């Protein structure tokens, strides 16, 4: 019957170069003819952001950045942008910072230039997320896709190895989830596989030489590929689980993704042999789970949700919230029983192989 699929590629400019962020930002601000720029950066990232923005005129600096983008934080930022007559948003930081810029763009339709300092990948997607009353809502809107992404590996040098690992494995989760997400197709599967290869190469190099450029460049490259794949394929089971764990229980974003990933891979892989083979090939191992677990062992990756405050008492509520959001095309049927078992294993850091064929 041949290949049949429907693929949408998002339009975005990507500028990649170590040590070039300030010059690239100035050139993009000029290209876009922006007159009133709002720079969004957390307090901790502000010194870095000021260096990146050294060659442009900034109308407003905004530092109130909170994980999972609470609605009240978004409303405050939206008001600040409107009051100052902002015509361009620049976000310098990780996923929370990019998420806040997206929250402003969602209602204002202002363009965004994203300058990532982690491997979260949000900068390359048209997905937004907001948290209200302990529930995280996500959606898709092309208005939140940054018009330009400026990648500069030197900006990630201050990211500690432990956080680099968690953030990079968050990118790895985008790659793997894209293999069986609602709109999975051969193009985003190819991007996801190349993202796995780049992250598998880059993260160990960061672990071995935190000040080296090669590992961080490979990780940024892999994070971008992972995000493009995710934006095309949509949100699969892994992301549905992690959005609930983050939005409902306020678990840290990157560490949660890094912890849950092997359990979803073990759960889905036996029911998705083609995807499993592609993932295994990208890792260069006989099977996908072995490849991921060998990498996680090298990196001393996050192991248990209990390390981040999650408790057994919350599992039932998590299952209740996740189940209605599970994609109908998930390779393995999801039930109250097997989702509960998955979360129990992730809670304690149990060997994910217990979920194979569960």
Q: What residue segments make up the domains of the chain, in order of their start?
A: 13-156, 161-355
CATH tag for 13-156 (out of 3.60.130.10, 3.40.50.1970, 3.20.20.100, 2.40.50.140)? 3.40.50.1970
Secondary structure element (H or E) that encloses residue 62, with its range: strand 60-62
What is the per-residue pLDDT for 1? 60
Cα 275 from Cα 42, distance rounded (Å): 38
The answer to whether the 13-156 and 161-355 domains have the same CATH topology is no
Q: What is the pLDDT of residues 43-82, one digit of tens each?
A: 999 999 999 999 999 999 999 999 999 999 999 999 999 9
Distances (CA, A) of 283 to 85, 87, 100, 184, 277: 48, 43, 34, 20, 10
What is the per-residue pLDDT for 222? 97
Point out the residues of the chain with pLDDT beneath 50: none
The vertex-142 CA angle with 139 and 147, nearest 5°, equals 130
Q: What is the pLDDT of residues 272-288, one digit of tens each?
A: 999 999 999 999 999 99
Domain 161-355 has CATH 2.20.130.10: no
Task: Render the burial of 288-307: b for 16+ CB within 10 Å, e for the rest.
Answer: bbebbbebbeebebbbebee
Which residues, including other chains, have CB under 8 Å from residue 304's CB and lie 6 or more apart? 259, 346, 347, 348, 349
Judge whether 94 and 220 are in contact, CB under 8 Å: no
What is the per-residue pLDDT for 136? 86
Cα 79 from Cα 315, distance rounded (Å): 37
The vertex-126 CA angle with 123 and 130, nearest 5°, equals 90
């Amino acid at each position: 019957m041949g290949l049949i699929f429907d693929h949408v590629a998002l339009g975005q400019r990507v500028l990649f170069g170590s040590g070039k962020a300030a010059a690239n930002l100035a050139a993009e601000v000029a290209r876009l003819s922006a007159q009133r720029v709002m720079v969004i950066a957390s307090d901790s990232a502000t010194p870095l952001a000021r260096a990146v923005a050294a060659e442009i005129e900034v109308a407003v600096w905004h530092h109130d950045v909170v994980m999972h983008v609470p609605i009240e934080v978004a409303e405050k930022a939206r008001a600040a942008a409107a009051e100052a007559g902002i015509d361009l948003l620049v976000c310098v930081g990780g996923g929370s910072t990019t998420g806040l810029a997206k929250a402003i763009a969602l209602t204002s339709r202002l363009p965004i230039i994203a300058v990532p300092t982690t491997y979260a990948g949000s900068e390359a997607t048209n997905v937004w997320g907001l948290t209200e009353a302990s529930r995280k809502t996500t959606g898709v809107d092309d208005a939140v896709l940054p018009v330009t992404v400026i990648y500069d590996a030197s900006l990630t040098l201050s990211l500690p190895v432990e956080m680099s690992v968690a953030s990079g494995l968050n990118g790895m989760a985008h790659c793997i989830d894209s293999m069986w997400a609602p709109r999975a197709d051969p193009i985003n599967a190819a991007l996801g596989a190349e993202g796995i290869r780049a992250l598998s190469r880059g993260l160990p190099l960061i672990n071995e030489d935190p000040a080296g450029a090669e590992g961080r460049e490979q990780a940024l490259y892999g994070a971008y590929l992972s995000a493009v794949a995710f934006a095309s394929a949509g949100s699969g089971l892994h992301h549905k689980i992690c959005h609930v764990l983050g939005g409902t229980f306020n678990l840290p974003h990157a560490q949660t993704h890094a912890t849950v990933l092997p359990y979803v891979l073990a759960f889905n892989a036996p029911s998705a042999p083609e995807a499993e083979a592609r993932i295994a090939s990208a890792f260069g191992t006989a099977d996908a789970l072995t490849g991921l677990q060998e990498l996680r062992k090298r990196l001393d990756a996050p192991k248990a949700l209990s390390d981040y405050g999650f408790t057994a008492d919350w599992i039932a509520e998590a299952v209740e919230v996740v189940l209605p959001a599970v994609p109908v095309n998930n390779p393995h049927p999801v039930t109250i029983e097997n989702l509960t078992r998955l979360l129990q294993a992730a809670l304690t850091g149990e060997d994910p192989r217990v979920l194979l064929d569960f």
